[in-house]
Amino acid sequence: MLADAWHPKIGTAPAGRSALERPQADSYDVTLTAPASLTVASSGEWIEKPAATGGQRKFHWRLAEATSFGLAASSSFVETLRDSEGVDIRLYQLRGDSRFDAKMADYAVDVVRFYKRLFGFYPHPAVVTLPGSYRSGGGYSPASGFVVFHKISGDYYERGYAAHEIGHQYWGFDTVLDDAEPCHWLGLGLGIYSDNLYMSAHGLRSVVGVGDYLDAAAKGFDTTLRQPPEKMRSLQFNWNGAICHAKSYAVMRMLADLMGPERFLRFLQTLLGRYRGRYLSADDFQNAAQAAADQDLGWFFHDWVDTNRTASYAIETVRSVGDSVEVYIRRTGTARFPVSVGLTMADGGHQVERIDPVPEVQTLKFAAAHDPIRVQIDPNGICPLMTQGKEVWERK
């Protein structure tokens, strides 16, 4: 497999900063002559489909607005082809290989269809699926339009990783490029949020959650998102899983909650239009998020991106006062977020209020004609809380 931005190019220096080592969007016109015994995979648009002549075949592709051009070839490839609203799905397995099933092509069809309707486009002519490692699960995207899957089994994981890895074609590594080396927290967080939209539409959760972040934070590890690359690489824990994936997804999920899901989706669509083929810096992202939310989010980015703060809240007392219920809440963590608080009453009625993220102690008042039987902080699990056993109150 060859997957790189491998042609000569002029170096660029946006804002006076050298970009020689960074991917950038390019257009490719590639001709390849190869032995007829090889099956060759590329995500480019077919310009000339090969016919064998003298034991050789000539391939010709074009690929526009791509960060890298990929080629993969094997005499043992078994090819499965599908179409998803004009996008080619090209799945390649090695003969006799069982690392993933050919039905991954059908999941890719569904994922591409969903993303096209969500974002208005898929960025390349094809999705190329290739076999990866026997030793681990998941996958990665080595080139524009390329998806490598490791050892994956079961409908949930096959669907989930198809959504996750194809999401990489939109955020961070392709289309909208991020500059957050080595963490790629912007691209990974936005990609996981996107694949979660797909999984939620099928009544499922994303294959990437926030558990690794909570585990690392509970052990006292530094989970600051914006750390210098040299410091990040020196961390002695699974920072890729805990910070780059889990915490970055938590940040996007909280931002969506702050803005509202519909406004956040419009925000994502705006980013894809404004930064397609360009770099989205962390500062640009924060400024764009504040404009979309129409509020100052400096406190949010300080607590959740630029520091190692963690969030926790405690219900101190719950009492009925006339025709209302007062809930006393204390912020016991250092990271702020306007978590929701749910109240369930004896008649089955349910109400939700939000706290103010600033005060350490505050009182929420619910209009309630019946006795409270349960109060829960963050009932939808939006904020990754460090639990202390005081997030739920129940009448005894």
Query: Is there a domain that residue 331 lies in?
Result: yes
User: Are both 113 and 6 inside the same structural domain?
Assistant: yes
User: Residues in the chain with pLDDT < 50?
Assistant: none
Among residues 105, 133, 153, the one where a domain terminates is 153
Closest CA to 354 of 343, 370, 368: 343
- Are 208 and 249 spatial neighbours (Cβ–Cβ below 8 Å)? yes
Cα dihedral 185, 128, 4, 6 sign: negative
User: Are both 77 and 144 inside the same structural domain?
Assistant: yes
Q: Distance between CA 194 and CA 198 in Å, rounded?
A: 7
| Max Cα–Cα distance, the chain, nearest Å | 92
User: Are both 137 and 27 inside the same structural domain?
Assistant: yes
Q: Distance between CA 253 and CA 380 in Å, rounded?
A: 11
Helix (H) or strand (E) holding 352: strand 350-354
Residue 390, number of CB atoms within 10 A of its CB: 15
Query: Is there a domain that residue 161 lies in?
Result: no
What is residue 160's predicted lDDT score, i.e. its pLDDT?
A: 95
- Number of Cα atoms under 13 Å in the Cβ half of residue 345: 17
Among residues 134, 153, 172, the one where a domain terminates is 153
What is residue 100's predicted lDDT score, i.e. its pLDDT?
A: 84
What is residue 16's predicted lDDT score, i.e. its pLDDT?
A: 66
- Are 36 and 56 spatial neighbours (Cβ–Cβ below 8 Å)? yes
CA 306 to chain centre: 19
User: Are both 287 and 324 inside the same structural domain?
Assistant: no
Domain that holds residue 76: 2-153
Query: Is there a domain that residue 176 lies in?
Result: no
CA distances from 383 to 104, 239, 251, 342 (A): 32, 19, 9, 14
